[in-house]
Amino acid sequence: MGSLDHNFNKTGLNISSMPNSQQQQQKIVIGEAGYVLEDVPNLSDYIPNLPTYPNPLQDNPSYSVVKQYFVDVDDTVAQKIVVHKNSPRGIHFRRAGPRQKVYFEPDDVYACVVTCGGLCPGLNTVIREIVCDLYYMYGVTRVMGIDGGYRGFYSKNTIPLTPKVVNGIHKRGGTILGTSRGGHDTKKIVDSIQDRGINQVYIIGGDGTQRGAAVIFEEIRRRGLNVAVAGIPKTIDNDIPVIDKSFGFDSAVEEAQRAISAAHVEATSFENGIGLVKLMGRDSGFIAMYATLASRDVDCCLIPESPFYLEGRGGLFEYIEHRLKANGHMVIVIAEGAGQELVSESLKSSDPSGNKPLHDVGLWISERLKEHFSKQKKMVINLKYIDPTYMIRAIPSNASDNVYCTLLAETAVHGAMAGYTGFTVGPVNGKHAYIPFDRIIEKQNKVVITDRMWARLLSSTLQPSFLGTRDIIKENKEEELPTQLADNSTTDDNSMEKQILR
C-alpha cells in the first residue's frame, strides 16, 4: 500500500493547506481490500517545516540488544481480528511505539502531567513511568505535575517531577498530583500551557477527561502551537470503547473478590443468610461480571445492562426464595448502576463531571428484601450488606496493572516525542495503538447480555436472565452486524454455546 502519509483526511485529500475548519476532520486513509486507517494528528499536519531529530534511543545501551526496536511507519493494528474468508480488512489504528525520528530535542521539552476524575488503581504508576520514560529514554529533565485536575492549570501550584520524586509512588493508591472533577476552562488551560512554555501534555482520565483533552488539543491546533497532547484512558469500570481494557480494572476485580468472599462467609454462617455486595459500575457491569465469574461463590449478579424485576413469576424475589430453600444461603452481587429505574426516588441533578447521582441501590434492595421476606413471606433472613466501593478505588495497582500502566505510559511518551498529538493510547487486540480522541469518547463500552461472556455468567450462577423472548430479539437487533459476525464466527463456537446454555 505504500507509506502512510500523515497529511490525509477522511476524503483522502492533503490537509496541510486546507482551511482550519476542514482540518478538524478525522484523518482517514483508505487502502486496498477494504483497509481503513483511522489515523491520529501529527504536529507536522498544521505546523510547516518542523525539523526532526534522530531518536536518542538509538544510542541507549538498554535497548541495544533489541533486534528491531523502532516501529515501522506503516505498521497498523486491526480493530477486529476475527474475520471471514471474504471479509474486508476493516478499520486499523496506527501502531504505538518509538520512531527513528522525533520532533523534539530533549533539552527543549517541557512536559506536564495531570490526573482528572475519580481515583483508580494505577494512577501513580502511570505518573511514575511517564516521568522515568521521559528522563531515562529521552533525556528530558523538565517535567511538572498539575495539582488538582484541570483547574490546577490556572488555579493551583505545580509539582516538579523527577525520578527521585516519583520513586516508589507506584506502591501507593490514589494520585500524588491530586484530582478533581470539572474545572475545565479551555481558554485558561491553553493560556497557561502557552504562557509556561509547555510543549507536551499528558492527560490521565476517563471519558469526560478525554473529551476535555480533545477540546484542549483543538484549541492548541487552532492557535498553531507546537504542543503534543496525549491521553491515557482511565476508568475503573472498564467502559472505554476500542481498547481491550482500562488500567486498574484487574486490580478492582481482584479486590472485589475479597468483598465477595466475606459476603460468602457471612451468608453461610447463618440460617437463610444473604450476602449482598455492591460494586462499582455506573453504566457498565464489567467489574461485577468478572468478579462473579472469578469468585464462583455468587448466586446472582445484577448489572445496569440487564434489566430485572422484583416481584412476580420469574422475578428476583422468587429466585432468591428458591435458592434459600435449596441451599440455605446465597450471595448477590449488584453493580451500583443496576436497577436504578426501579428506585422510586428521581434524581435529576448532576455532579461537576455531568454524571447523574445514583441512588444507593444496595441499601434500597436490602430494605426491599427484608420487607418482602419478613412481611409477605413470614420468612426470617439474615442479610449482610457490604459496600467496598471506595476501598477498591483507593488500593495500589496489582502486578498485572503495574505492567500494563508501564506500557501505557511508555507508548504515550513515544507518541508525543514522535510528534503525534490528539490521541489516546491503549491496547487493541493485544497490540498498543494510537487512537483518535473521537473514537474513545463516542460511546461507552458495555456488557453485551446476548454475548458468550454473559452466558458463561448465567451458567455459573444459574440465575435467570430476567429477559423474555422479545427482549432477547430486541437486543440482537440492536447489535451491530460486524459484532454479530464476529460472535458467530464458527460452527464449533455455536455448538459450545448450546452446551453452556443447557
280 annotated to a ligand binding site: yes
Query: Is 492 a known active-site residue?
Result: no
| Of 343, 357, 365, the residue nearest 277 (C-alpha) | 365
Q: Is 285 annotated as a binding residue?
A: no
Query: Is residue 235 marked as binding?
Result: yes
Cα distance between residue 180 and residue 103, in whole Å? 32
Strands 90-95 and 35-39: parallel
Q: Binding residue per annotation — 438? A: no
- CA 247-250-252 angle, to 5 degrees, is 95
Residue 206, annotated as binding a ligand? yes
Classify 47 as helix, strand or coil: coil
**Phi, psi angle pair for 120, to nearest 5°:** -160, 140
DSSP helix/strand/coil, 460: helix
Residue 417 marked as a ligand binder: no
The answer to whether 386 is a known ligand-binding residue is no
Residue 390 among known ligand-binding residues:
yes
Burial status of residue 487 (CB atoms within 10 A of its CB: 0-12, 13-18, 19 or more): middle
Alpha helices for 269-398 (secondary structure H):
286-295, 316-327, 361-371, 389-394
> Does 442 show up as a binding residue in the annotation?
no
Cα gap 57→63, rounded to integer Å: 7
Does 152 carry a binding-site annotation?
Answer: no
- Mention every residue, 6+ apart, whose C-beta is less than 8 A from residue 45: 6, 7, 15, 16, 23, 27
Q: What does residue 200 show for φ and ψ, rounded to 5 degrees?
A: -140, 125
**Distance set, CA 488 to CA 243, 372, 450, 470, 492 (Å):** 21, 42, 12, 21, 9
**Is 281 within any annotated ligand binding site?**
yes
Cα separation, 449 vs 437, in Å, equals 27
CA distances from 487 to 174, 203, 247, 254, 455 (A): 37, 34, 25, 27, 13
336 among the known binding-site residues? yes
Encoded amino acid at 493, one letter: D
Is 118 labelled a binding residue? yes
Q: Is 205 part of any known ligand binding site? A: no
The dihedrals phi and psi of 164, each to the nearest 5 degrees, come to -65, -40
Q: Which residue has the cell 442479610?
A: 383
Active-site option among 45, 237, 239, 299? 237
Is 181 annotated as ligand-binding?
yes
391 is in an annotated binding site: yes
Q: How far apart are CA 441 and CA 423, in angstroms?
A: 11
Cell of 80: 477486529
Tell me the H-state helices in 248-331.
249-268, 286-295, 316-327
Q: Kindly list the catalytic residues.
A: 237
- Point out the annotated binding site for substrate: 235-237, 280-282, 336, 390-393
Which parts are annotated binding residues?
Answer: 118, 181-182, 206-209, 235-237, 280-282, 336, 390-393
| Feature table: binding site for Mg(2+) | 207
Annotated binding site for ATP: 118, 181-182, 206-209
